[in-house]
Amino acid sequence: MGRVNIRTLLKKKQQGERITMVSTYDYISAKLCQEAGIDSILVGDSLGMVFQGLDSTLPVTLEEMIYHAKAVRRGAPDLFLVVDMPFMSYQVSPEEALKNCGRVLKETGAQAVKIEGGEEIAEIAYRLIRSGIPVVGHLGFTPQHVNIFGGPKVVGKHREEEEKLKKDFKALENAGVQIIVLESVPTTLAKELTESSEAITIGIGAGKFCDGQVLVFHDLVGLYEDKKPKFVRRYVEGANIFREALKNFREDVVRGDFPSEEESYGS
């Protein structure tokens, strides 16, 4: 079938087929995503919290994103790969954005970069796209603005917020953005944006009418227990299973039951 590309995803939208995206950061989980038939992987800067144990995405660096994206690409050579651009790697100037996003595409094999924001980054998105760097947008609750928001929140409940979100969406569309992540947005607003646009919407906490859905790998397999937002569905209680396995290993070693003869080399 070959690698999933933007045309594959646009065709899915046109045919009313839902798109699946998983945010993850390493070779093994990426390989599992590809084996499970997921369409796309986002190497999200949520790795700051989930992989590094930080309390926000802000300290994540460009070098770290490139390191993780390379590992993910090795695990999932056939999936549509998007890499999050970290805080302050694209906002300063179009020139810096071009340099940093260009590096990501050249060094990781990603097919697009994701940047957060609407009207204020539309010019940058336009310049990137014109230079051959596809851009995925991110609207609604944007984690890199956590200090402006004061913490996670639903965005678009009030008239003013709704109008702003619609303007931001239009600005990204006009810049040529073909995929837009909607995070923590009311279902009706996400539905309206999805139905009125040719751009693909990928929801996370944005209801079931988006063209696709994204979840963080460690959330959906129940490994990340620090926080569980309302929109997360755990498909397995991974942390319990892993803890149990580790306890069993520990007990076997302490009792002298591991390794057995079969697990050892003879003379």
Does residue 211 belong to the site contacting ligand KIV (CB under 6 A)? no
Q: Does 194 bind ligand KIV (CB under 6 A)?
A: no
Q: Is residue 238 a contact point for ligand KIV (CB under 6 A)? A: no
DSSP 19: E
Locate 42 and state its tokens.
Answer: 């986002």
Whether a cis peptide bond, with omega within 30° of 0, leads into 229 is no
Nearer to ligand KIV, 44 or 186 (CB): 44
Nearer to ligand KIV, 149 or 249 (CB): 149
Q: How far apart are the C-alpha atoms of 167 and 118, rounded to whole Å?
A: 8
Residue 46 is a binding residue for ligand KIV (CB under 6 A): yes
Q: Which of 12, 19, 23, 224 binds ligand KIV (CB under 6 A)?
A: 23
Q: Is 133 in the site for ligand KIV (CB under 6 A)?
A: no
The terminus-to-terminus CA distance of the chain in angstroms comes to 49
Are 102 and 71 in contact by the 8 Å Cβ rule? The answer is no
Using alpha carbons, select from 134, 117, 126 the residue that is nearest to residue 6: 134
Reading the block at residue 148, the tokens are 């402006």
| Site mask for ligand KIV (CB under 6 A), range 148-187, x = bound | ---------------------------------x-x----
C-alpha to C-alpha distance for 103 and 157, rounded to whole angstroms? 37
Which of 4, 22, 204, 223 is the binder for ligand KIV (CB under 6 A)?
A: 204
Active site residue 183: yes
Which residue among the candidates 64, 116, 173, 183 is catalytic per the annotation?
Answer: 183
Q: Which of 62, 210, 216, 220 binds ligand KIV (CB under 6 A)?
A: 216
Applying CB under 6 A, the span of 32-40, 44-52, 225-233, 235-243 interacting with ligand KIV comes to 44-52
CB-based burial label for 16 (10 Å; 0-12, 13-18, 19+) = exposed
Alpha carbon distance 217, 48 (integer Å):
14
CA atoms within 13 A on the CB side of 133: 25
For residues 39 and 45, which CB has a smaller minimum distance to ligand KIV in the complex?
45
Contact between 84 and ligand KIV (CB under 6 A)?
Answer: yes
CA–CA separation, 166 vs 145, rounded Å? 18
- Regarding 69 and contact with ligand KIV (CB under 6 A), the answer is no
CB closer to ligand KIV out of 42 and 135: 42
- Of 243, 217, 227, nearest to 20 by C-alpha is 217
- CB nearer to ligand KIV: pick between 130 and 228: 228
Q: How far is the CB of 50 from ligand KIV (least distance, A)?
A: 8
Q: Which residues are catalytic?
A: 183
